Amino acid sequence: MRVKNRSPRTRKNRRRLHAGGAPLLCVGIAIIACVSLLPLADENHQLAWEREKLRADLAQLKEQGRVNDEFLQRVADDPTLAQRLAQRQMKYIREGDSILPLQGSGKEEMSPFHLVAVPPPPPMPPYQPVGGALATLVRQPRAQLYLCGAALLMIASGLVLGYVPKSAGGRDDSAAPPGIV
């Protein structure tokens, strides 16, 4: 084994060659990760928003079903209510009763719907996608393609710049301790 005295400056330069491509490699991988993960995260956020909207609609429908069942139960149990509803539907007025004239009442359909109507849930705010310059950029297919190409170029450059050839004897000097060749 031959021991060669190297100056510290030469070792620093050699280490710099090893790490020369690492930043490009890391940035390239990070860009590819952003291009592939940000659209998926955006889609997940949108699906969560739609799920909340559907939950609100389902709660309103369940409440409407409960009110309808309660109304049908009251109609089945109370014969006078059933009679009044039937008379109202047929626009039948009993003897001795008179119609009370109301302002603004036109030829509206006589329906008990307004007795059991449950108001709809409040509208949800419109969906807002994840913000940021990179998130906006990766929503466009052409920009995604260019970013992936640039990232692959960075990765290739990082691999080429970080390459350290083996020594002439076939051994890899990077594994040897400093000062020993």
Look at 89 and 128; give whichever has higher pLDDT. Answer: 128
Which tens digits make up the pLDDT trace of 65-100? 999 898 888 888 988 888 888 877 777 777 766 666
In whole angstroms, give the CA distance from residue 93 to residue 91: 7
Look at 157 and 21; give whichever has higher pLDDT. Answer: 157
Task: Give percent of the chain with pLDDT exceeding 70.
Answer: 70
In whole angstroms, give the CA distance from residue 50 to residue 27: 34
Crossing angle of helices 79-90 and 22-77, rounded to 10°: 100
In whole angstroms, give the CA distance from residue 95 to residue 103: 24
**Cα dihedral 136, 138, 139, 142 sign:** positive
The gap between the terminal CA atoms of the chain, to the nearest Å, is 7
Gyration radius from the chain CA atoms: 38
Per-residue confidence (pLDDT) for residue 181, from 0 to 100: 46
**Cα dihedral 102, 106, 108, 110 sign:** positive
Q: Is the pTM of this model over 0.95?
A: no
Report the chain's mean pLDDT, rounded to a whole number: 79
